[in-house]
Amino acid sequence: GAVVSQHPSWVICKSGTSVKIECRSLDFQATTMFWYRQFPKQSLMLMATSNEGSKATYEQGVEKDKFLINHASLTLSTLTVTSAHPEDSSFYICSARPPGLPGETQYFGPGTRLLVL
Amino acid sequence: EDQVTQSPEALRLQEGESSSLNCSYTVSGLRGLFWYRQDPGKGPEFLFTLYSAGEEKEKERLKATLTKKESFLHITAPKPEDSATYLCAVHRRNYGGSQGNLIFGKGTKLSVKP
């Protein structure tokens, strides 16, 4: 149980285009999902908290107009990188908290590698 | 500032050579400490959660321990399939800070040679 999927697993796009990444909880409902970004040899950094039915909460320094988050249902959250630039190239990972588990236990998706040319 | 520091950055072991990974933390009110395993190009895989000093958790060849300032991940008689990056994360008591609710270390890359 507690499986989180992401699509696509990798994407290459041209500078200035927008890219949408999907995060799904396959066997549980998640009112809250999280979006992280990981640069090579760096820590996972939380970008935003996605809340079903309400606006996402963004971390300091993350542009909410550039990284659009939509939590349309209890099993799906999407992250859209708008007007992508080469510096947005990174590994984007989502996570979700299954119900019934203690504290802040999060299960992670497999990640999406984004390369902006 | 709250932070998590993992050491060493990389560790090479021979199969069967036991060792420990370290996670030192400074946070304002620890609510939990998490260990994850991350394979290249994959998302982190949950291993353990520890909540209080003195607590220990075990899973196969892995054992996690917690003190008030650090956590250790002990690997007993490792096998090549244990090769991965091991991440430590802490959950702070007061969410809403600039670093979010889970703070991750940079990880320790473990390589186990046959």
Per the CB < 8 A criterion, the answer to whether A11 and A112 are in contact is yes
Torsion-angle region of residue B21: left (phi > 0), alpha (psi -120 to 50) or beta? beta
Q: State the burial class of residue B55 (Cβ atoms within 10 Å of its Cβ: 0-12, 13-18, 19+).
A: middle
Interface contact A58, partner B, CB < 8 A: no
pLDDT for B29 equals 78
Question: pLDDT above 70 covers what percent of chain B?
Answer: 93
pLDDT for A1 equals 61
- Please give the Cα distance from A97 to A81 (Å, whole number): 23
Question: For residue B97, is pLDDT > 70?
Answer: no
User: Looking at the partner chain, which of A43, A91, A95 has a beta carbon nearest the beta carbon of B105?
Assistant: A43
Q: Residue range B84-109: average pLDDT? A: 80
Rounded to a whole number of angstroms, the distance from the CA of A8 to the nearest CA of chain B is: 13
pLDDT for B99 equals 43
Confidence tier at B98 by pLDDT (50, 70, 90): very low
Across the interface, do B43 and A46 touch by the CB < 8 Å criterion?
no
pLDDT per residue as tens digits for the range B57-78:
999 999 999 999 999 999 999 9
Residue B76: CB atoms within 10 Å: 14
Rounded to a whole number of angstroms, the distance from the CA of A57 to the nearest CA of chain B is: 10
CA end-to-end span of chain B:
41
Across the interface, do B107 and A43 touch by the CB < 8 Å criterion?
yes
pLDDT digit string (tens) for chain A, length 117 residues: 679 999 999 999 999 999 999 999 998 898 889 999 999 888 899 999 988 888 899 988 899 999 999 998 899 999 999 999 999 999 999 999 887 776 678 899 999 999 999
Nearest to B52 by CA among B39, B41, B43, B65: B65
Sign for the CA dihedral angle at B113, B78, A5, B92 comes to negative
B chain contacts of residue A111, beta-carbon cutoff 8 Å:
41-43
What is the chain B residue with the closest CA to A10?
A: B41
pLDDT for B94 equals 56
pLDDT per residue as tens digits for the range B3-23:
899 999 999 999 999 999 999
Confidence tier at B95 by pLDDT (50, 70, 90): low
Joined together, the tokens standing for residue A19 give 């890219």
Question: pLDDT above 90 covers what percent of chain B?
Answer: 77
